[in-house]
Structure 1
Amino acid sequence: MVRFRSRRSQSRGPVHPSNSPARREHQAPHLAYVMVRIGAVDIGTNSVRLLVADVDEKERLKTAHRMGEISRLGEGLDRTGVIDEAAAQRTLDCLERFVHEAEYSGASQIRVAGTNAFRVARNGREVADRYAQRIGYPVDILTGEEEARLVFLAVMSGLSAPHGRSVVVDIGGGSTEIICGEGERGTQLISLELGCVRLTERLVRGDPPADQELEQIRSHVREIFAEKLGAFDDTRMDRAVGVGGTVTAFGALDLGLTKYDPSRIENHLLSRERIASIEKHLCSIPLNQRRDLAGVSRGRADIIPAGAVILSEFVNRFPVSGVYVSTRGLRYGLVLSEARKVWRPQGEPVGN
């Protein structure tokens, strides 16, 4: 059983201050519009991410606050089948801070969701329930399909012209989601048991990874792709978009950034050639050098070779010229889905 250090005498529920910016009306002589402020926390296998954003009835989203932190909830999970007590406590400490930030930022509602680590761990439900008791909000354990749909919604919301046919890849710590869709609607989606933490713990021992270890990862990814993606229609692809820490790190490295800047990375095109080049470099240098690279967080440096192989094999699988970088991951989908409950309570399309 996982036990947590007591930090509060009672759980905390949503706050709705009377002067909160959660719901704001802006009025001009011929214009009036309202925005709702929503918070979302994505508890991933490797990191915890917070977004607080204002969303209007046309689903235009303006970021108010975003944070991310490596907590490695899934440490040792592939070996033991359970969430480790120390990893659970690290993640809870981060989660409590992020929920407090969302409340302090004036979010009128907060959604918290867990992904692969909670799905596969034997004690995943227990840990999620204990988290919920501590923070005062439910912790939803998303199915792989739910996660994929929300990621596609998030990524498409960040494109200037989300028309045509797209394929999206979200490379995470415990799983990889791949979604094909037309316009803003995902039509084919799958969550694969391919994650950077999982593959690194299972197959990597060397520093840098030995050629044999990298080939084992590559062979495993190809095998899963061949088995699971056979039904995916890869014709007429207008674009490929990637999201997740591996992809954003590739974007920062390709642009030569000295400091991570989401506005510079968003919609940056990574060519096939640059993906192959960056993959080769990341897989050939030791951990201490990867940690010094701008755009590669210290908590991601050990697992990014596995992520690099997944990204490389993704572009080999789909007939695309490269991958556009998106910084809008699952937390953006969570915010938008909550906004739709406000603006479309009966499920009617926006604008109808």
Structure 2
Amino acid sequence: MRTAILDVGSNSAHLKVVDLSAGRPIRTVLSVKRPTRLAEAIQEDGRISRDAVERLVSSVSAAHCIARAQGSAELIAFATSAVRDAVNRCDIVDQVTGRTGVDLGFLSGRDEARLTFLAVRAWYGWSAGPLLMADIGGGSLEIAAGDGAEAGTALSLPLGAGRLTRDHLPDDPPSRKQIRRLRRFLTTQLAEHLGAGDLSAGDLGQAEAHAVATSKTFTQLAKLARDRGPNGYRVLRLKALDRQIPRLAKRTATERAELKGISRSRARQILAGAMVAEATMATLGLTRIEICPWALREGIALRRLQQLRSGSVHQIDDIGHLLQPLRDAPAPIRSLTTVSA
């Protein structure tokens, strides 16, 4: 089964086309993306601006055409927290459907966490033992943990890098007062949610859990720190974050984009991303975290593969409402940017 997965995030729309076959690994056919810059387009009233909606519609239309041109039999299309939490999300979804024919759905934050954990477990296998996973998006922070194939605990907090930048670090570069306030806010929020039974160190035996991070934010922070573990994976250490945060704080977004590993599209929000990463690791008692290359899109592909293997909807059906068939393909268009699989 050739399946197209379209992930409309806070910064970009990312299309991943995969071949799924029972008894075989996932094969990536094509991976393309296009900037949407939704996080920076959320207005004071919580609405996404008209220009950003136009970018979103254009990106979805292009992705739809490419998915069909690649011979995809089905499409799984969803938007993450930037659209999910927008005041005008119903209007956005209506425009996308009416102008592109794509039904853009949503996953809950907890389901995003669970599906990302599924991908991390598949990447590391059973030998990794209990896993603790963290993912920083533009609008939310997902955390999941467990010693099985599925997460035993999963939660989503409104602590994404784009959201925190918009709400707490409006200046470029931010003032020391803004940074102090954000640090206090993160400490309070994480202590409240992670220390109140949602996910505590005792849930897994924290010292035994393999701590793993996904997302571009964690990846770029690890590149900035230039550190790798003994197995070759990129790692991010708490001490490195402590050193990099002052370095990022004194620079403008333009200056941050000149640092090795930091992309221009995330330069504005990478400081807030570093601060939430630091606060999360400190709250959970982690001195290091390893970067996993698989994340939410791979988790969705794995869930769909589970369904195909069983011949029916898997007992955990968190993606069924997102599935839609695709018909004969038009001529391909190339308005998205191809990225490495």
Q: TM-score, normalised by structure 1?
A: 0.80
The one-character-per-residue Cα deviations of 1:237-275 (angstroms, maximum 9, x if unpaired) are 321111112111012223389xxxxxxx99422222223
Aligned length: 307
> Where does residue 233 of structure 1 map in the other structure?
200
- SS of 1:275's equivalent? helix
> Where does residue 222 of structure 1 map in the other structure?
187
- 2:168 paired with 1:203: yes
CA contact (8 A) 2:8 2:80 kept: yes
> Where does residue 79 of structure 2 map in the other structure?
114
**Shift in alpha-carbon separation, 1:126–1:206, aligned structure 2, 3 A:** closer
- 2:48 paired with 1:83: yes
> Where does residue 151 of structure 2 map in the other structure?
186
**Shift in alpha-carbon separation, 1:300–1:147, aligned structure 2, 3 A:** same
Q: TM-score, normalised by structure 2?
A: 0.82
- 2:37 paired with 1:72: yes
CA distance in 2, matches of 1:285, 1:97: 35
**Shift in alpha-carbon separation, 1:253–1:58, aligned structure 2, 3 A:** farther
Q: Which runs of 5+ in 2 are unaligned?
A: 316-341
CA distance in 2, matches of 1:109, 1:267: 33
Letter in 1 for 2:143: I
> Where does residue 102 of structure 2 map in the other structure?
137
Letter in 2 for 1:201: R
Give the alignment partner of residue 172 of structure 1, picking from 129, 132, 137. Answer: 137
> Where does residue 318 of structure 2 map in the other structure?
none
**Shift in alpha-carbon separation, 1:70–1:344, aligned structure 2, 3 A:** same
RMSD over aligned Cα, in angstroms?
2.4
CA distance in 1, matches of 2:39, 2:172: 21
CA distance in 1, matches of 2:24, 2:176: 47
What is the 5 A alignment of 1:269-284? 269-284=235-250
Give the alignment partner of residue 315 of structure 1, picking from 255, 265, 281. Answer: 281
The one-character-per-residue Cα deviations of 1:123-166 (angstroms, maximum 9, x if unpaired) are 21221232123332321111122222122122222225564221
**Shift in alpha-carbon separation, 1:267–1:101, aligned structure 2, 3 A:** farther
The one-character-per-residue Cα deviations of 1:276-316 (angstroms, maximum 9, x if unpaired) are 22333222322222112233221110011000100011110
CA contact (8 A) 2:10 2:38 kept: yes
**Shift in alpha-carbon separation, 1:344–1:304, aligned structure 2, 3 A:** same
- SS of 2:265's equivalent? coil
Letter in 2 for 1:143: S
> Where does residue 21 of structure 1 map in the other structure?
none
**Shift in alpha-carbon separation, 1:149–1:58, aligned structure 2, 3 A:** farther
What is the 5 A alignment of 1:246-325? 246-255=217-226, 267-325=233-291
Seq. identity, %: 27
**Shift in alpha-carbon separation, 1:86–1:348, aligned structure 2, 3 A:** closer
Structure that is richer in strand per residue: 1
Moved more, 296-305 or 163-172: 163-172
Q: Which runs of 5+ in 1 are unaligned?
A: 1-35, 258-264
CA contact (8 A) 1:45 1:197 kept: yes
